[in-house]
Structure 1
């Protein structure tokens, strides 16, 4: 058991550190605290265990057998009347115990933690994007896009908004509205503008198309550095969920 604990501790520490460091950059760049990084690291831990435990079990078993041979303990057991079959029993018990732990990790704990990890990382980026847009300041999330908000509230209500999109060389599109509501959907942030004006200026700057609207909505994923929430990956799926509802997990819903 001691070799198994030693190999597991060393390998888990190395792999856990390797997988946690890229997440540290996400946490720092999005202005989160150290507690958030600790939470994310904990969510990574089950997958690290799933990778490391089989390697540690194999290495510790080889080490134990090598030690029995090198120290002539097998001869002592043979002289004591203990057969090789009886010596295999502890190895089988150890292997079954590790296998049970791996089943628990792969069937339940890893899908649960990875799904939670994906959701938390998405929320971190989205929260950071929400904080970027401040009242009475021009915000340039990406090249060619400018957003200005006169006044906003915590529940997403906006009084006075101006958006200009000059990413396309052919046209410059400008949105302006007296009121707007920003809400969160499954696909990201949704902005619904009310009582506004849409203006399109062509590349020659000679033709201006104007359209008044009472209500217009579009997703902000193309404007803000968050992107739509990605579909689930195979490691996040509970195996029993596939059996009970196979239509839900088609190829179009899995990375």
Structure 2
């Protein structure tokens, strides 16, 4: 009977947790996907790149929401069971409250491992793949990033300005500056311009203007009635290097062991050629490792906090205040777990306290349960 009741509790919780997590993630993903439209509008990428980039950001949203949704789901389900007198049925069947705590604590370890899988592997991997699409793709919709009365610098080393664009797609009064270095650049001015594709190659065809080249203080000016400015070889200003948050977790640990000269048995050889592995980036590497492997430890804490509600019952005159306090405690824990990332220091010994804090909180909460469900019960008897 006990197993059946526990399965019922777990099923109610999992159903609500999954629905809440997926629903909230989809809502946030839709809003974020709208912001990613800049990839097409600003950067001139095609729609396939936009779709892939947007979808690959979904695991990141899931991992960000999981801790809070985990807490909120158990908080809501516990209150619902209490108000429907379902918890009373459990107590009447002789189930100890501490057994409920232990049951959910064991279950939280599964969620903990799932969260670590997301933060340490799935999220950085998906972020790296998403960014790789931008790094390797080319500009497809060239007309999208040329906006009137705005300095358009999407193309690397090139700035384009146009006074206006008519309904036929003609640009008026175009200024283009293409710069290799401060002493070697090219400035083009034309009264009119239009985007055309010639033999499969995109060009900005310019009419009635002049081309000014500066090479080591030598100025050459050439007037033209028509000039084809090729766009196919252009590169964008999109970040081409791999960011710290996109590196595999093993690489981050390997980098840390290299920078701090720590020998780890599971790392056979130290590779100093890891991207972003430098003393200047130490703090970001440590914070990323902490975020991926240690922040998820707050998962069991967020699982136990809602269970503080079963210490008392709905008949208690302070039950409403207790609900508010428990919810605020859970919300504070979520915020605190994310905030501690900013306090990680480059000196490793200074970070030890942040490793022990979640374990200390978990111990205090569990001791509280033991006191109320076992010791206090024996004292009252």
Q: TM-score interval w.r.t. the shorter chain?
A: 0.5 to 0.7
In the other structure, the counterpart of 1:72 is: 85
The answer to whether the aligner puts 1:250 opposite 2:263 as a matched pair is no
In the other structure, the counterpart of 1:238 is: 248
Check conservation: 1:24, 1:37, Cα contact below 8 A. yes
The answer to whether the aligner puts 1:10 opposite 2:11 as a matched pair is no
Matches within 5 A, 1:43-58: 43-58=56-71
The answer to whether the aligner puts 1:128 opposite 2:139 as a matched pair is yes
The answer to whether the aligner puts 1:83 opposite 2:96 as a matched pair is yes
Structure 1 residue 51 displacement after superposition: 0.6
- Partners of 1:85 and 1:166 in 2: how far apart? 71
- Partners of 1:44 and 1:118 in 2: how far apart? 10
Runs of 4+ in 1 over 4 A off after TM superposition: 129-132, 164-168, 170-174, 251-255
Bigger relative contact order, structure 1 or 2, given CA contacts below 8 A and separation 6+?
Answer: 2
* Structure number having the greater helix percentage: 2
Give 3-state SS (helix, strand or coil) of 1:60's partner.
helix
Matches within 5 A, 1:1-255: 1-29=14-42, 30-33=44-47, 35-124=48-137, 127-128=138-139, 141-143=158-160, 173=185, 200=215, 202=217, 224=234, 226-227=236-237, 229-246=239-256, 247=272, 248=274, 249-252=277-280
Structure 1 residue 166 displacement after superposition: 7.5
Distance change >3 Å, CA 130–CA 76, structure 1 → 2: closer
Check conservation: 2:36, 2:50, Cα contact below 8 A. yes
Aligned-residue CA RMSD in angstroms? 3.8
Structure 1 residue 18 displacement after superposition: 2.3
Check conservation: 2:183, 2:214, Cα contact below 8 A. no
Give 3-state SS (helix, strand or coil) of 2:46's partner.
coil
1:55-103 deviations in Å (ceiling 9; x for gaps): 2111111012112221222222112111002212332233222211111
- Partners of 1:113 and 1:166 in 2: how far apart? 34
Structure 1 residue 36 displacement after superposition: 2.8
Check conservation: 1:40, 1:117, Cα contact below 8 A. yes
Distance change >3 Å, CA 123–CA 85, structure 1 → 2: same
Question: TM-score, normalized by length of structure 2?
Answer: 0.42
Check conservation: 1:129, 1:225, Cα contact below 8 A. no
Aligned length: 187
Q: Which consecutive unaligned segments of at least 5 residues does structure 2 have?
A: 1-13, 144-154, 162-175, 187-212, 221-232, 257-271, 285-381
* Structure number having the greater strand percentage: 1
Distance change >3 Å, CA 172–CA 3, structure 1 → 2: closer
